[in-house]
Structure 1
Amino acid sequence: MAGWEVSRHPEWDMMYVAGLTAREIADRCHQNVATIHAHFQSRERYEPGTRATHEAALAARGVDRPTISWRKLLAEVLEFRETHGRLPSHDGDNTERRLHRWVLNQGRAYRNGEMSTPKIILLDGLVGWSIDVRQQERDQIWRAKLTSLIEFTATYERTPRYKNHSSDPERVLGVWLHIQHQKRAEGTMLPWRLEMMDAAFLHWQSRM
Structure 2
Amino acid sequence: MSTIQQEGLAAALRNSLEIKLVNLQVQQNELTIVVNAEDIRAVSKILRDDSALRFDTLIDLCGIDYSTYGDQLSAKYELRNKRFAVIYHLLSVEKNQRLRVRVLAENNEFPVVHSVTEIWPAANWFEREAFDLYGIVFADHPDLRRILTDYGFIGNPFRKDFPITGHVEMRYDEQQRRVIYQPVSIEPREITPLVIREEHYGDSEF
Give the structure with the higher percent strand.
2
Give me the TM-score of the superposition, normalised by structure 1.
Answer: 0.25
Higher relative contact order (CA 8 A, sep 6+): 2
Give the TM-score, by structure 2 length.
0.25
Query: Which is greater in Rg?
Result: 1
- Higher fraction of helix: 1
